[in-house]
Structure 1
Amino acid sequence: MRYILLIAFYCCSHLPSLQAQESVFFTKKILVDSTNTSLGIEVRNLNSIKNKEYFNYIADGETILGTQLQTSLYYKASKEITLYAGVFLYKNFGEDRLDTAIPVFTAQYIKNSHHFTIGNLDARDNHGLIEPLMSNEKVLNERVLETGFSYTYRAEKTHLETWIDWENFIEPLDKEREIFTLGLNFKHLFVSTPKSKLSTSLQHIYYHKGGQINQKNRFSDDDASLKVNLNSTALGVAYAYHLNQKNVLFGSMYGLYSASNESNDTYSFMSGNAIYGFVGYQYDDWKFFTGYYKANGFTSAKSNTILNTYSTKTDNNSFNGIPDERYASHTEKYRELAFARFQYKKELAPEIFLGIQAAIYYQMNDALLENYEFLGNEKGQLDYNYGIFLTFSNIFGF
């Protein structure tokens, strides 16, 4: 049986900007080829153990332990069309129950360089977005499932992917709002020699929370009435230099900008900007890189929480039984971090990969909780995470 990787040229370093951003638990979808049988099964599995030791005022420290299994029957209706139907299962370790069971359906049309998908999208690589736009942890639970439509264009030097993920559907008089995300990732390879690769990247996330038919309270800013339109954009360059077949030096630099229709309790800044960059070294299956992030009110609805300028930390403190909500309105407009990440990824058997990943974040900005100044300034705080992951992705014809 012959396989074609959905984005095989990434693995050949054609677009080096993905090289450092790709986490060890990301997987590539394998396409059903004309040489495969017309009927078969697709199996995708991810097992994760990740511990986050975070003590800042922005992001929670927690442990993520779980397994997910997505199994689908596929039918190759024609040379260009493949249909999938199956189920996605997710379970947290340490619980007796199954946490999530969701039916999945996908129709895929591929013609030359053009790829169209409707239904459940393939988002197990976060569409190649950098972490200030989309957190890699989205892949570790049911949030990896995206539903909507995507179009991808793939050529030797150009990659374009655009998609809509419909996250919350509403009916008349629902108390919740409709939610969807539009995404764009454009990359072009300007320089390509046996030694050097230079590419540019434009990435964008548009997050919408609104709707016309749900219940609303006029002149209220509660969650059911508040409308959110948040745009987050990144423009950057990436360079990779191949010392030899196993040794690669790489680096990337991005400028980011965000704009919202209005400030609110979650997204406090109507506009913002940031810089994000890193340099690194890869030897065979080992990778290390270090970088810098500095924000001025920059906001993305999907970003890695530790990079946020607003707090998502759980308020689990109380006084005389009354929650003190010390983190509820906390912001750090000038978030500034130095970070480093180590990664190791090894193929143990065909399409079975072991991944080890660890990261540290050093906080360089001042951070004081209003009315809780006695808790101290978090400037100089060192946070870290580490994890072990096992992934499997393959197709089997009947």
Structure 2
Amino acid sequence: MYSLACVHTYTYAQVDNINLESNHKITGINIGKVQFNLNSLVYVKNNEYFNEIADGYTLIGYYANPSMRYKLHKKVQIDAGVFVRKEYGYNGLKEFEPTFTVQVKQKDWRFLFGNIEGNINHRLIEPLMTFERVLSQPLEHGFQAKYQKKEAFFDGWLDWQQSTIAGKTNQERIWAGVSFYSPTVSIKDLKFQALAQASVFHIGGQNIQSLQPVRTLLNPAAGLRLKKDLGKNQSVTIDNYYVGYFESPLRGTAYYLNTFWKNTKYQVGFSYWFGSFFNSPFGNDLMQSASRKFNNEDYYENTRSLAIIRLVRDWKISEKVKISLRVEPYYDLNNRIFEHSEGLYLSCRL
């Protein structure tokens, strides 16, 4: 989809996803010039789940987004291309569609119109947005405002997923959200950061012939980060979040605790999730109270309690080619079930 960002500090919960993140950062090409870009990802992700909440399956395939970049003004850039996605085991392409983005830069702010920087680029926590959307929903369309300066980060967006026409049955589907990481405050050798996120999903529309109810789901999250550098390119981070779910008249709450160690090649993380009557439309399936398993939609668990280990190995082949191996064992404390997920990802950006 996009070309890789060249930023020196990053802010993440759970683990660092920078090898897979991509964006439309305004480049140094001359005004009026055209530049070719390619973003591609080859992936395999295997979910071995045995509970009543989430299906186990394997995703294997690739996507590619060749595009042309045009510098209209020193603060305005246009990207236009085509996106193709192929999943092995199915005939034909899973997706084939044009991509188009107009970006305006103002100091440390970037404003995007068209195809926005979606999925993991929002830097949401897993309960609000599953990592797997980088594979299953690579494209988002709408409007976005982004800010980054050192470790401070803000992303506000609207993703228009489905439109409707008067008299038709399809409901409109709109996803909007904010992701905020405050500037760091240092006390001796410790860094503190306030974290706030929110996701709003609306399903509805006027003058349509649908028996489905109008729904608005809100998922806020607030947290605190504590980070300690352990020397060159090595650190330990602790993130603790309080997460909510609101959909009138339903309410849910959750706690999401994370700690991870990382250096330039390895990451080791531990997460604990406790959710009570929790639902998030795009969050990790394992963290939901309502089942998303095939032919098991009526199943519900009032509380979900998970212990998660995250193991990541990154290889930087070059500035343009990177590989990431991820292994995530889960233990369902309520049902006493051991589950796991593995993934291998090869990203290439020219």
TM-score, with length taken from structure 2: 0.94
1:357 aligns with 2:326: yes
1:231 aligns with 2:230: no
Q: Which amino acid aligns with 2:345?
A: F
Question: Which protein shows a greater Rg?
Answer: 1
Of 186, 195, 198, which aligns to 2:180?
A: 186
- 1:139 aligned partner: 134
Of 384, 388, 392, which aligns to 2:344?
A: 388
8 A Cα contact 2:184 2:193, kept in partner: yes
- 1:371 aligned partner: none
- 1:154 aligned partner: 148
Q: Counterparts of 2:210 and 2:85 in 1: how far apart (Å)? A: 34
SS in 1 for 2:213: coil
TM-score, with length taken from structure 1: 0.83
Q: Counterparts of 1:387 and 1:154 in 2: how far apart (Å)? A: 29
The alpha carbon displacement at 1:193 in A equals: 7.2
Deviations 1:2-50 (A, max 9, x none): xx96471434xxx4xx053434762232523234572012211011011
Q: Which amino acid aligns with 1:151?
A: A
Q: Counterparts of 2:113 and 2:302 in 1: how far apart (Å)? A: 38
Q: Counterparts of 2:301 and 2:308 in 1: how far apart (Å)? A: 17
1:241 aligns with 2:228: yes
What 5-or-longer segments of structure 1 have no aligned partner?
Answer: 218-224, 263-269, 316-326, 366-378
8 A Cα contact 1:47 1:390, kept in partner: yes
- 1:196 aligned partner: 190
Q: Counterparts of 1:90 and 1:129 in 2: how far apart (Å)? A: 24
> 1:22–1:176: structure 2 CA closer, same or farther, 3 Å change rule?
farther
- 1:330 aligned partner: 299
What 5-or-longer segments of structure 2 have no aligned partner?
Answer: none
- 1:205 aligned partner: 199
- 1:108 aligned partner: 103
Q: Counterparts of 1:301 and 1:73 in 2: how far apart (Å)? A: 34
Q: Counterparts of 2:187 and 2:312 in 1: how far apart (Å)? A: 26
Q: Which amino acid aligns with 2:166?
A: P
Q: Counterparts of 1:73 and 1:310 in 2: how far apart (Å)? A: 43
Q: Counterparts of 2:4 and 2:105 in 1: how far apart (Å)? A: 13
Across the two proteins, how many residue pairs are aligned to each other? 347
The alpha carbon displacement at 1:300 in A equals: 1.0
- Within a 5 Å distance, the mapping from 1:1-398 to structure 2 comes to 6=5, 8-11=7-10, 15=11, 18=12, 20-23=14-17, 26-29=20-23, 31-36=25-30, 38-141=33-136, 143-156=137-150, 158-192=152-186, 195-217=189-211, 225-262=212-249, 270-315=250-295, 327-365=296-334, 379-394=335-350
The alpha carbon displacement at 1:355 in A equals: 0.6
* Same amino acid, percent of matched pairs: 25
RMSD: 1.9
SS in 1 for 2:133: helix
> 1:145–1:93: structure 2 CA closer, same or farther, 3 Å change rule?
same
8 A Cα contact 1:60 1:313, kept in partner: yes
